[in-house]
Chain A
Amino acid sequence: MDMSNFNTAEQAHMQKVIETKQMQDFMKLYSGLVERCFTSCCNDFTSKSLSSKEDTCVMNCTDKFLKHSERVGTRFAEHNAEMMGAAQAKR
């Protein structure tokens, strides 16, 4: 996404848009992660509160997902740069 042709007002506008989207994305990430870890880890309803096993599972699930997401982000950026480069070269 090449913003170098945008003037100051347009760049400022895009910055606001990006911030709003990042906030929305974060909320989606959070609720998605809660559901994911709940579905994977909590299958025993003999008690109202989390067992220590479930608690550990949820912690690990969260840590793992965030690390996974970070790694995907790194690789994604690499491939995306290639893809955008190829698209630019074609023009």
Chain B
Amino acid sequence: MSFLGLGGGSGGQHGSSQINSQAIDVAVAELDMITDIFNRVVSSCHTKCINQRYMEGDLLKGESVCIDRCVSKFFEVNKKVGERMQQMGGASQAAGGAG
């Protein structure tokens, strides 16, 4: 006689109609942050790289190269500022703890 295994079958299915609002909030916050950074990069690099006289509708070679470098530097700055802020956050926490 064999019994089919009762209980403990498929081990908890992912509720396909449930919405985990916390995960959604995190994803939306990340999306907002990325969109904001993108808009800032577009704006900054336009000011720095594009000739404001608009002699023609296409990007000049120099402008194209400038844009590539501008975006690259922007991300480096982004990374460095993030690291520095983490350092300072850590340092101030340590100081607060000792004080």
- Answer yes or no: do A and B interact: yes
Residues of A participating in the B interface, judged by any CB pair closer than 8 Å: 1, 3, 5-10, 13-14, 17-18, 21, 25, 28, 36, 40-41, 57, 59-65, 67-69, 71-73, 75-76, 79-80, 83
B54 at the interface (CB under 8 A from A): yes
B34 within 8 A of A: yes
- Say whether A63 contacts B57, CB under 8 Å: yes
CA distance A19 to B25 in the complex (A): 16
Q: Which residues does chain B contribute within 8 Å of A57, judged by CB atoms?
A: 53-54
B interface size (C-beta, 8 A): 40
How far is it, in angstroms, between the C-alpha of A13 and the C-alpha of B31 when the chains are bound? 14
A-B contact count (CB 8 A): 97
Closest 6 CB pairs of A and B: A63-B57, A60-B54, A75-B71, A60-B57, A79-B75, A61-B54
How far is it, in angstroms, between the C-alpha of A9 and the C-alpha of B18 when the chains are bound? 7
Is B86 on the interface with A (CB-CB < 8 A)? no
Q: Which residues of A contact B46 (CB under 8 A)?
A: 36, 65, 68
B19 CB to nearest chain A CB (Å): 5
Q: Given A79-B71, A79-B72, are A40 and B18 neighbors across the interface (CB < 8 Å)?
A: no
Contact mask B1-41 → A, CB, 8 Å, 1/0? 00000000000001111111001100110111011001101
Taken together as a complex, chains A and B put the C-alpha atoms of A69 and B64 apart, in Å, by 11
Q: Which residues of A contact B63 (CB under 8 A)?
A: 68
CA distance A59 to B57 in the complex (A): 7
| CB-contact partner of B67 in A5, A28, A68, under 8 A | A68
In the complex, the answer to whether A5 meets B23 with C-beta atoms within 8 Å is yes
> How distant is A39 from chain B, measured CB to nearest CB, in Å?
9
Q: Are A10 and B24 in contact (CB under 8 A)?
A: yes
Q: How far is the CB of B76 from chain A (nearest CB, A)?
A: 9
